[in-house]
């Protein structure tokens, strides 16, 4: 796409692209060094390092005199920082990013896995969503029952791609995944600690949604939870599973659920049997009355 050229008289380095170029007597090709993590990410097809099985580009060693390029995926953002001008620019995908001589990529270090661990995902670009992330949160009820919640959050970045201020705003939080998961987990833990296990077991979905989204003046649960620092918006929470941490509690809960199902089944059977007997007696009574009427 281009080359880096250094002027031997002034020491100034510039990038030339989109044209043929012949070096002057006082110019030379300049090699641009990149951090090791950026070199590794540029070899990945998706620009991320969380998957060890991710496909790599079939290329040899990078020619350091060539302009560094990166294809920003669709619906993503890439931040480039100019160390000479001391300012950052954001490129929204799909687009081709070309680094200047004094520019470097902003490498994102995001939390990953379940439960979330810091610095699991390294990436050159930031997806803008909508997307989802999953976390495991351990809570304790007011009667000291420890529960493991498997929660999934739908999110997106609320920003104006045409504006210059919103672009840098989404990169203001280094690890938005870990920050959002910690904020939501603290809200859920605080609310669950004030309710009993029986009440939480019956109303877990509404309790968790109200804890995260809050309620308006009329008492209705809101439909989103926003972070003003980087424009991240949580739009939905999916409670995938609620399991007691203690094995004995889990066995007792499973036994009580099975017992409740059996009781409900037997109650329905007894009710149906009673209804059948009642109808049979009514039919028999009508038949007897009809016989008496016929004999009369």
- Distance, in Å, from the CA atom of 276 to the CA atom of 285, rounded to the nearest integer, reads 14
Interstrand relation of 76-82 and 87-92 (parallel, antiparallel or unpaired):
antiparallel
| Dmax (CA) of the chain | 134
pLDDT cut 70: percent of the chain above it: 93
As separate numbers, helices (DSSP H) first and strands (DSSP E) second, the chain gives 6, 15
Mean pLDDT, the chain, whole residue set: 88
CA distances from 258 to 213, 262, 264, 272 (A): 33, 6, 10, 21
Residue-wise pLDDT for 159-214, tens only, equals: 876 655 567 889 999 899 999 999 999 999 999 999 998 899 889 899 999 999 99
Res 13: pLDDT:
94
Q: Assign residue 265 a region: left if phi > 0, alpha if psi is -120 to 50, beta otherwise?
A: alpha
Residue that wins the pLDDT comparison between 129 and 286: 286
Residue 263 pLDDT > 70: yes
């Amino acid at each position: 796409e281009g080359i880096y050229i250094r002027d031997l008289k002034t020491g100034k380095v510039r990038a030339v692209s989109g044209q043929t170029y012949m070096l002057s007597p006082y110019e030379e090709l300049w090699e641009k060094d990149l951090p090791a993590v950026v070199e590794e990410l540029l070899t990945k097809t998706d620009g991320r390092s969380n998957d060890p099985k991710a496909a790599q580009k079939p290329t040899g060693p990078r020619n350091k005199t060539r302009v560094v390029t990166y294809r920003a995926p669709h619906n993503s953002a890439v931040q480039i920082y100019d160390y000479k001008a001391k300012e950052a620019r954001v490129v929204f995908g799909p687009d081709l990013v070309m680094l200047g001589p004094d520019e470097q990529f902003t490498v994102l270090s995001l939390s990953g896995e379940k439960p979330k661990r810091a610095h699991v995902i390294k990436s050159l670009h930031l997806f803008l969503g909508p997307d989802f992330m999953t976390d495991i949160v351990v809570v304790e009820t007011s009667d000291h029952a420890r529960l493991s919640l498997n929660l999934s959050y739908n999110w997106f970045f609320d920003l104006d791609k045409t504006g210059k201020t919103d672009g840098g705003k989404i990169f203001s939080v280094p690890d938005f995944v870990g920050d959002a998961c910690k904020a939501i987990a603290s809200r859920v833990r605080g609310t669950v600690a004030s309710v009993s296990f029986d009440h939480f077991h019956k109303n877990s979905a509404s309790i968790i949604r109200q804890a995260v989204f809050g309620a308006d003046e009329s008492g209705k649960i809101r439909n989103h939870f926003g972070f003003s620092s980087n424009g991240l918006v949580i739009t939905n929470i999916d409670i995938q599973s609620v399991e007691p941490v203690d094995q004995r509690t889990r066995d007792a809960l499973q036994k009580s659920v099975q017992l409740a199902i059996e009781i409900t089944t037997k109650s329905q059977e007894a009710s149906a049997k009673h209804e059948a007997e009642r109808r049979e007696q009514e039919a028999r009574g009508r038949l007897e009355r009809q016989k008496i009427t016929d004999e009369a």
